[in-house]
Structure 1
């Protein structure tokens, strides 16, 4: 059976160019008997991680590469049709934008393992570095940058394919083999035996890219000049018949409709992932057209396979999949001792600082958590996050953790999380356990007005060689797909806009189903638009752009730039002197990819309420000279009667999490009197608990109007705090642990599985079998399972609720004790859901005078002014 490896394949991560997902390409390669496949997306490597995962699952060896625009050497002359040097020819298109795709292109394939992958990263980074943020032209790799990268890297780290879109290929298309030879010389000098000429035949007429005549000229030229040639199909989609989808993508990228009168401007329909037999026939056809014998065709295929065999990159070694990469311990205070010892020492110091050092339960909990952390080798992770939090606080910026990380005593002792997890009955296993071999996820909330200062502090601490922001692919959904398909087909823009807006925000693949099922779309004449719906659904979930994640920051050791390309973004880090800023660098991988690559992703979330509270305390200090620390229990006592009186009165406009009409209604019925009541309130006010009618039985039991009911006496302890109603993830973990005898790590594993319908049956069999063996009656097991199963639709992480309850209480305390400063913070940073006129009305109603504008005293921000001694 013949073998063939596609060396030039674009996926949907070639933005608005490739028409197939990486997973689909791998699936088709396996079905067609291929044991290897290359992914060579344009201008980046963003699809590489999911491509590697899919290849591993399918038993296909992945080859990694990229296709980049490359400027000719300085002083050189580009081939006909190319822009001179790095200058970019700009041509007008519909909409007033300018798109230039005239630069010659080359494909770079990684070889030599990690060194080859690192070279790809450097080349992509260099290509984007020359592109201004927001520039509509494609990234172009200068010859100087290419030369520098190659000479700085390992020899033979990449193999280069020069095809129809390269300068030599364009010279051959113009019938100038002499010029092609001159243009090829610098490539041969730089890459030597790693250089290949790419033969591509898509059956087109003429001598342009994809034509049989150009393919034959390329093969003959390679033989004449002693350059190795390989056969590719320059793949853009997985299956035949997808050419029109490529046309739509070309139209969206170039901002011009598809020209139905120029077939040469449309896709040939041949750029699919062809099997080995089809490619063998292509090789024979090209060799025959070149006037060469079948031996040349055979050697062309053999060289293609030989090239593929040399391009070996182990995803674990090259991309770093399956290993973790944290900043070096010396950067987080562990220069002379191991990170584990430093972490234990700092936690012990935190025990003394917080007064827990004489409580045996806290020492046992600390040792338990440190044992889990040591098991995974995550000590540097916790030290890194603690360092970021410490640097943030030293800037005078409010910061606290949210999410399941608030359930860790280690995080509390390091100052990352505010609330005491032991006192609040939080579980480390909801956050991290020995069974969870994934990176923990700690999110931190900071003042929204100063979030970029936090970014700057992170870059200052760890350096640009270790830090980047995280990418976020913007994918096609139905509205985007309808707009791009309609524009490509030349439809009336107003009609396209009306049609797109008629759809709800759903996936593109559901367009036809929505037309049949949704009442608001029944007036649309689907038949009128012909093949439009096939094209719309074919675009489903393809990346259409790459944006910066709104809060994800990537931290690594100094090898970051050798494992991910970094590109500039439009967002800037302000300089310390306040003059201008530097573009934020962004890795090309998204949040899921970076987790697979073992990189620390820290979500730095800007929270307006934190800014509002910081502004309020600053105003108190400015006006009165009194320093207020909201995190100090001596200044903000946990059980302050005035604060809870305000909350119970439902006068909570502006208070974090409890200001909406629905929340104020729930607060009025619940009548919170403790911090735990706030935690429950935040957890109950969600669509799931409300629709499951959990709120009414909880409130009735809380106020003594009905007794608390437990499925079994053994479950009273974990359910007592919520009167027998299951509210938190942590309670489900305890139910599973008690009734099955498993540890909390396994219980959390099963809890997570409850959200996956396809394996719920397995979890049920596991639960009922183990519970029965422990002596629980069948009716108890069945009733408890019903509770646990239903919980999957409405449960909430208690640690997250605790983390949110802290600013809830603090904001209410400010409103109760310093209302003028509180309103000044709200009006300056606008953190809530109400317009300023309602906040001003609320302030007046609560006895806070609102002064008019004064050109002599007013400032940009809202301020408080002491007008009397009271």
Structure 2
């Protein structure tokens, strides 16, 4: 079979802001055309190589890999007429390089790495470096219309073109001229037929082989408009400013016939069309066939690479297996002693578990991998950093014995097969949680230990979503920046392809001016372009946790480029590095670990070495605190778990209120229950009913009783699914895990179901049992939660709850400093007050750069607000203020602190000088003095600089006493307003206190009193909105969960789609709310509101102020409570398990936007 045409110059969407389609789509189209091979030559990257190879394998197409690279030129950056006169680099000469074996692939990696080294935004490589590397590694060069040769031929300088050609040939580089045309106009454009013919003629004259390409960058001709938008974004020019001539819709992946016609047309302009056409096409195909890549031999895929043992353990002569065996034996002896394992049967089973795991590790050649991870964990501990394993790695007994995981897999019935399996090739995952504020320090230590030739970070690609797409399309179309910004911010964080449906379906958009214009069709072109950008990569950045550790071949197998944090990162993402056989260690910076570490230090600082929970070091050791502490579980059962890891969200607080965990195992179950799988399969309700004794435990079949006993007959864990499959079908646990994974694929469900039914019928199970078990597995198996992962999560969950129960001040100080949760700081501060912890105001003589615990005059504990919370203050200003403490007066502060005048004024308004001068003058008086003092001391510093060092002006030694100005003091409302504007916190009074009279008259129920209200009662609640979530739920509808706080505590309200229709703009864009709804009891300690309406509190206040209660009742009564027939979503994502999700679901942390917007909420106070 003839190979057909072979495209040798093809860009995918991995060419950032240039290509428009995925490698998969390109491969599929080439397959449809009957083309036997295809090249991927993205600009400045091979990031798409792995997915391209997989797509080629599926389509039975041979892969060719290369890169389109820019040459360094002395051209200066030029200003653009758009975007405020930004500077961009003009287009530089480019060429295409092709690899054809292992050596040339290594050269390709080296060239790309070098191009990115000094040119992060515009990668380019020095010509001499490129020539040397390309020659040494045997790369093939395609010099096309945009190369130096092409530009010189275009400018009719054949002598210079010949000089460039000889330079390439002198370095031993196989050089081809690339012939391409994108238009038929006879002008001088370098992509015209005329110029293509000139290039071909020049190649013939100088006996240079030529190949034909279409310089592909999109799939279909109609995609050219998207390419134009990407060009405009990349060049920072509006589309109207584009200077390219001729049609631009020809860079598509063309058929063999189309390329043959182009060859015929160009050949006819040169000479004998048949002969030249035949030679041009045959040279193209021949080169393509020569450059086919073998993924295993050339890229090293399907192999495993870890640091050499000599690097890992210098001077060690034994094998990795022998060293691992020895370390495990030491750990096993300690395990038996520490856990008082004395029964012979227990010792034998533990021994068998260890021997089994060691055998699997040896069989898979993973001893070096495990030792590498263990060494990294040991190194982190030696740095005095909190570290804990997460994920399925907690199921390995070896990981526990080596200290990688703190969870005992035997005690918690975890499975090694979920972590690693001989049936699942490749490296397993071990994720390491560390303190977030020390993550970069740990990265540096890993690089120092293994070297940058064996170490790199993983990259990730940010793709276009609706807001990014709106901004880039708007700029390309020349829209005013303010209009673009308003348009973009009006959308939730959704896919760009959902922009039309969002405008039609979301009530907050449908009734807006944008929605009305869209419905009229005024925005059709704009919306088409936004949708066209959906999912295209737009930026490469450092993955938040992935580090690659390899042997010395690392840089020969992956290009690296600098990240914003200055660490090198592989161009491959987290999935690709695994396919490349590279050890990826996820080092996750977890803020809760930082909060706990900080809290431990605060306890030691304030309470000393004898505080509750301390060990022989004088510090609290959370790894050794009892895991059956009654006070801890009392706190958890109370649902007062704000700030606690994993159990602070509204849904989790509701669940633990019903569940009432009493053991560490219960926490594991709780964390696993609060996942889409159990929610979809409605396992939470029967679990709670059985747990609380309201229903008999149903195991479906007696064979499942032992497996499901710990969860009251309900499937909760992946490991349970694996055990059910193994017990009922007689397959191995390894095979069961593969089956569980496959059940996430719709296309495989029927095949698995047939196998499952056949296996169980052979074992004489009744059909009704088979059907019941299958439905449970189908709904849950692929979408549940790994018990080992839950167990790893349960550890910091318990530790955080223990700390809050025993040391609330230190714990909350840690939470406020490191901000690990979903809620804004003002809610956490309010929670501190409810725990008996005082929030101490800003004080220039006491405040630090973090929240610190202090003893209060009444013998309790308080938390001091830090200087770092002052709006706009720099880290340098914070350091300068702290280093000069204490201050005798405002004058002393102005003179010595070196803070800017706006910062000093904000500190005054936030009460930072109340302790110094609050008894004499008001904040308004001090604000008046700031201006005068700033002027005086500015002049004083100028004079002082001019006099000799022996002359002392002495003004800084004068005792400054502020004089009252006679101005009225700030009202309490003004003080609170300024505190929120400056600090984001209301210190002097709660913001809701100013509405108290109105709220009492309206019979608004305080959050803290809702437990006393009968279920199903209609109520009004009010408060500051502190969190909003629209998570995926099983119905596929968009449901908004809102948390309000009113000084008596938080209350959660649920807005279903019917309630959102009328009130969505207020719900999503206002911060102080009055909400009407029905009380819903969620257990003995839980209560929430099923909302049917909401109003902006300042609007309600104005009605009440001028019209009393009747005016508010009229306002509320005028709005319909629900819209009975909301527009139904037209697009719903459905998982193989049956889980359905709204396209408008938002999985971001609930409080982020609100936390940033709290300062603006102060303006709404009356």
Scaled by the length of structure 2, the TM-score of the pair is 0.68
Q: Deviations over 1:335-357 (max 9, x none)?
A: 31222222222112111122268
Aligned to 2:194: 213
Residue 22 of structure 1 contacts residue 50 of structure 1 at CA under 8 Å; is this kept in 2? Answer: yes
Q: Deviations over 1:196-235 (max 9, x none)?
A: 1212222243122111222122122222223222222212
Q: Does 1:472 align with 2:460?
A: yes
After alignment, is 303-312 or 16-25 more displaced?
303-312
Partners of 1:533 and 1:839 in 2: CA distance: 41
- Counterparts of 1:94-173 in structure 2, within 5 Å, are 94-96=82-84, 97-111=86-100, 113-131=101-119, 133=120, 135=121, 138-150=122-134, 153-154=136-137, 157-173=138-154
The CA deviation at 1:107 is 1.0
Aligned to 2:567: 584
The CA deviation at 1:126 is 0.6
Residue 128 of structure 1 contacts residue 567 of structure 1 at CA under 8 Å; is this kept in 2? Answer: yes
Partners of 2:426 and 2:853 in 1: CA distance: 48
Q: Deviations over 1:472-521 (max 9, x none)?
A: 12223344334434443445656655655565544444555656666654
- Counterparts of 1:480-519 in structure 2, within 5 Å, are 480-491=468-479, 500=488, 504-511=492-499
Q: Deviations over 1:151-189 (max 9, x none)?
A: 6x33xx201111111122111111221232233332232
SS at match of 2:434: strand
Partners of 2:178 and 2:44 in 1: CA distance: 19
Q: Deviations over 1:110-163 (max 9, x none)?
A: 13x1101111100111111121x4x4xx21101232244246x33xx2011111
Q: Does 1:268 align with 2:248?
A: yes
The CA deviation at 1:242 is 3.1
Q: Does 1:381 align with 2:359?
A: no
Aligned to 2:814: 825
Structure 1 427/212 Cα, relative in aligned 2: closer, same or farther at 3 Å? same
Structure 1 100/735 Cα, relative in aligned 2: closer, same or farther at 3 Å? same
SS at match of 2:362: helix
Partners of 1:652 and 1:8 in 2: CA distance: 57
- Counterparts of 1:735-754 in structure 2, within 5 Å, are 735-754=724-743
Which of 556, 560, 584 is the matching residue for 1:601? 584
Structure 1 525/286 Cα, relative in aligned 2: closer, same or farther at 3 Å? same
Residue 40 of structure 1 contacts residue 67 of structure 1 at CA under 8 Å; is this kept in 2? Answer: yes
Partners of 1:818 and 1:706 in 2: CA distance: 39
The CA deviation at 1:66 is 0.6
Residue 680 of structure 2 contacts residue 779 of structure 2 at CA under 8 Å; is this kept in 1? Answer: no
SS at match of 1:195: strand
Partners of 1:591 and 1:5 in 2: CA distance: 30
Structure 1 504/822 Cα, relative in aligned 2: closer, same or farther at 3 Å? closer
Which of 206, 215, 220 is the matching residue for 1:225? 206
Aligned to 1:542: 536
Aligned to 2:1159: none
Structure label with greater radius of gyration: 2
After alignment, is 410-419 or 87-96 more displaced?
87-96
SS at match of 1:456: helix
Aligned to 1:81: none
After alignment, is 828-837 or 504-513 more displaced?
504-513
Structure 1 201/663 Cα, relative in aligned 2: closer, same or farther at 3 Å? closer
After alignment, is 702-711 or 380-389 more displaced?
702-711
Cα-Cα RMSD: 2.7
Partners of 1:399 and 1:771 in 2: CA distance: 44
Residue 244 of structure 1 contacts residue 267 of structure 1 at CA under 8 Å; is this kept in 2? Answer: no
Partners of 1:382 and 1:261 in 2: CA distance: 55
Q: Does 1:610 align with 2:619?
A: no
The CA deviation at 1:599 is 1.1
After alignment, is 704-713 or 61-70 more displaced?
704-713
After alignment, is 657-666 or 543-552 more displaced?
657-666
After alignment, is 655-664 or 766-775 more displaced?
655-664
Structure 1 667/89 Cα, relative in aligned 2: closer, same or farther at 3 Å? closer
Partners of 1:45 and 1:211 in 2: CA distance: 29
Aligned to 2:5: 4
The CA deviation at 1:842 is 3.7
Partners of 1:765 and 1:2 in 2: CA distance: 40
Which of 310, 329, 348 is the matching residue for 1:348? 329
Residue 89 of structure 1 contacts residue 102 of structure 1 at CA under 8 Å; is this kept in 2? Answer: no
Aligned to 1:418: 406
Partners of 1:185 and 1:689 in 2: CA distance: 68
Aligned to 2:1154: none
SS at match of 1:41: coil
After alignment, is 381-390 or 90-99 more displaced?
90-99
Q: Deviations over 1:836-870 (max 9, x none)?
A: 44444444443445555555554322333467999
After alignment, is 531-540 or 761-770 more displaced?
531-540
Residue 246 of structure 1 contacts residue 267 of structure 1 at CA under 8 Å; is this kept in 2? Answer: no
After alignment, is 845-854 or 676-685 more displaced?
845-854
Aligned to 1:75: none
Partners of 2:98 and 2:284 in 1: CA distance: 12
Partners of 1:196 and 1:596 in 2: CA distance: 32
Aligned to 1:282: 262
SS at match of 2:41: strand
Partners of 1:836 and 1:174 in 2: CA distance: 64
Partners of 1:691 and 1:286 in 2: CA distance: 61
Q: Does 1:450 align with 2:438?
A: yes
Partners of 1:690 and 1:39 in 2: CA distance: 43
Aligned to 1:528: 522
Q: Deviations over 1:778-801 (max 9, x none)?
A: 222222222222324862221111
Q: Deviations over 1:80-113 (max 9, x none)?
A: xxxxx434332323113222233111111113x1
Residue 75 of structure 2 contacts residue 90 of structure 2 at CA under 8 Å; is this kept in 1? Answer: no
Structure 1 735/508 Cα, relative in aligned 2: closer, same or farther at 3 Å? same
Structure 1 843/10 Cα, relative in aligned 2: closer, same or farther at 3 Å? closer
Q: Does 1:328 align with 2:308?
A: yes
Aligned to 2:666: 677
Structure 2: segments with no counterpart, 5+ residues: 611-616, 861-1166
> Would you say how many aligned residue pairs link Structure 1 and Structure 2?
835
Q: Does 1:652 align with 2:646?
A: no
SS at match of 1:42: coil
The CA deviation at 1:395 is 0.4
SS at match of 1:864: strand
Structure 1 5/694 Cα, relative in aligned 2: closer, same or farther at 3 Å? closer
Aligned to 2:158: 177
Residue 659 of structure 2 contacts residue 688 of structure 2 at CA under 8 Å; is this kept in 1? Answer: yes
Partners of 1:542 and 1:689 in 2: CA distance: 33
Structure 1: segments with no counterpart, 5+ residues: 72-84, 572-582
Aligned to 1:190: 171
Which of 556, 559, 579 is the matching residue for 2:550? 556
Aligned to 1:639: 628
SS at match of 1:787: helix
Residue 744 of structure 2 contacts residue 783 of structure 2 at CA under 8 Å; is this kept in 1? Answer: no
After alignment, is 499-508 or 716-725 more displaced?
499-508
Q: Does 1:778 align with 2:758?
A: no
Aligned to 1:566: 560
Structure 1 22/628 Cα, relative in aligned 2: closer, same or farther at 3 Å? farther
Partners of 1:850 and 1:501 in 2: CA distance: 34
Structure 1 617/497 Cα, relative in aligned 2: closer, same or farther at 3 Å? closer
Which of 304, 308, 313 is the matching residue for 2:284? 304
Residue 118 of structure 1 contacts residue 562 of structure 1 at CA under 8 Å; is this kept in 2? Answer: yes
Residue 105 of structure 1 contacts residue 165 of structure 1 at CA under 8 Å; is this kept in 2? Answer: yes
Structure 1 656/508 Cα, relative in aligned 2: closer, same or farther at 3 Å? closer
